[in-house]
Chains A and B, each alone.
Chain A
Amino acid sequence: MKFTIDRYQKILIFIIAAYCAFVGFVNPAFFSITTVFDIIRTSSTSLIFAIGLLVVMISGGIDVSFMAIALFGSYTTINIMIAYGIDNLAFAVGLSIIFGAVLGLINASLINWLKLPPFIITLGTQNLFHGIMTTFVSDKSFGAGVLPPCLNQFGRATLFQIQTGSGTIGLSASILPVVFVALATWGLINFTMIGRGIVAVGNDEESARRIGFSPARIRYYVYVWSGILAGLTGIVYVAQINALYPNKLIGGELPIVAAVVIGGAKITGGDGKVFGAILGVLLIYLLNSTLILIGLSSSWNDLFIGSVLVASIATSSYQERIRNRKNLIFTD
């Protein structure tokens, strides 16, 4: 399978490019390497979240607990590190990922067992995970001073630096996990049997079962993968903001869902591309951060994002409906 850009992605690229051109026209300062590096740095956590969620959505599920998992993983890990004086980035990432995997496993088990809409179940576990963490781990905030220094080092690390008129600007190392996760997930979906199983189950569970895939097992892979990515993102996030709070991230799930949907993933499953999800996040991110540059207050963010989301849902659902009706398939 070659990497291809489909028609929908072309439209997204066109919209993003047109919007950038407009912003740059109104405010030429937008066109700078600083902007690009800035976008990369600040959108990195959203990108990893979105890629994790994409895998879940391709399998026909949904997850709104990934922020809670990210918080649980990173907060608990760093608490342990502070308590035992550990200062090792690999340890932080490793342990947070393990927490993420375990929580993902819990999600998958509940979905497999209860056979209820994953939205409701993961909404429950979102609160459960966050509640367990704040009740049994801790609910204190930690400032930069007490955090293991390795985190901040990673948060500030740059791959290379460029001299610009207003000083030096570097490409954040946060891009590394994003690139790694994007490639790994793309590879997982497109080149592994598990990945094809995920697509198969998302398309049609019964047919997937007939050719020997186990939907229940596939769901374990999917939610564990999503949990692992969330665990990783948690650490990246803390490293970037250089502080640890017990109540951050939570509540930011739905914009990520929106980004993945705008990126072309079907909530009914079976379809969705990593590159699409990245474009979706970028579009939302641009709308979120650049309105000020064109003279609108940031209060207009949601209006723009909501409109784009509704338009994207309406067109893609309507096309699907027309195609189904043409084949005399009725879904509602």
Chain B
Amino acid sequence: MKNFNLPVLGAGAGLRHEHLDEIVQKWPAFKWFEVIAEDWMGIGGAIKSSFDRIRERYQIISHGVCLSIGSTDPLNIGYLKNLRKFLDEIKTPWTSDHLCFTMVDHTNLVDLIPLPFTSEAVKHIVERIKVVQNELERPFLLENVTRYITVSDREMPESEFISRILEEADCGLLLDVTNVHLNSKFHEYDAFEFIKSLPYRRVGQIHLAGWIPEENGEIIDSHDAPVPPEVWALFERTLELIGPTSVLIEWDSHLPDVERLLQETHIANRLLSKYSESQSSLEAA
């Protein structure tokens, strides 16, 4: 298995409402777009009209933020059914969400909160992933989140927690290279060793993003800047390890114009080409 058996689409970008007009006017040369499913499910009006035009020209991949896979509240089956309708409508070949919780005690925390790395959590999440896979009937990937805290690692480290969930649920990994880089700084470990310890054949998609440090010097995964050199370097080492993979540039606030966003995907595409060629020659040899 390579890339969790998913196609390699090249480098894409996150589709944001603010860019719709510019995209339908210029039709820039993006290879694909990722949409935050909850921002586009069940919409109508002008946003829907533009989205439908964009869907005719570009492959759209869905990515969710509200599944709350780690929560102990019951899975929201109504949400899953609406999501399924949306995924069918946009014909996405796979979908993803985050390995975290966003709701608990029926309260929305509106953020990606990390989980304790325990066997109980592994078992709980694996059961829920199976329900999700059953409802959505397409490959499902979980994304490793940025975490500013370690809730509990007395039973196992994060890499084992992720690996066990992916293997036991037969689930794909959306590898956020920026998140690995930031977590390695916050929790003082080697980012590449961490990636190597994951079941990387399950990586179906990669995320890259940048950040602007806060005024107090604190770093938050803010998706508001170009991908920094250290993340490009980690991305390149990852490609060397796992081969070309669909990659997405995330940019969510302080949005640049579409042209600037496109430039970021060009950098990613150049690196993808480099590793496509080296992999072809390896396979030929």
A and B: bona fide binding partners: no
B interface residues with partner A (beta carbon < 8 Å): none
A interface residues with partner B (beta carbon < 8 Å): none
